[in-house]
Structure 1
Amino acid sequence: MQTAYFHELRLGAAPGVSSTYRVRRASGELDLTVTRGARPD
């Protein structure tokens, strides 16, 4: 379900905006930085 959650956040971000998310997993915490371009990937 995490994949869908992050995908929704990316779609909600404005073009060119960089967002940092903290993911808590069994292996530990992970910081993700997502930058959305002007065009969808």
Structure 2
Amino acid sequence: MNAEEEEERKRGMKEEAEAVDASMGKVKHKVMVMSGKG
């Protein structure tokens, strides 16, 4: 694997992690609203 492929893989993982963070944030917000804290 060359350096370029490595960069591409890292970038993909970072974007995936950010997407997971975003959806987790939405779920947490929903739970807070449902329990009357939002």
State the TM-score, normalized to the length of structure 1.
0.33
Question: Greater helix share, 1 or 2?
Answer: 2
Pair member with larger Rg = 2
Which protein has greater RCO, CA pairs closer than 8 Å, 6+ apart? Answer: 1
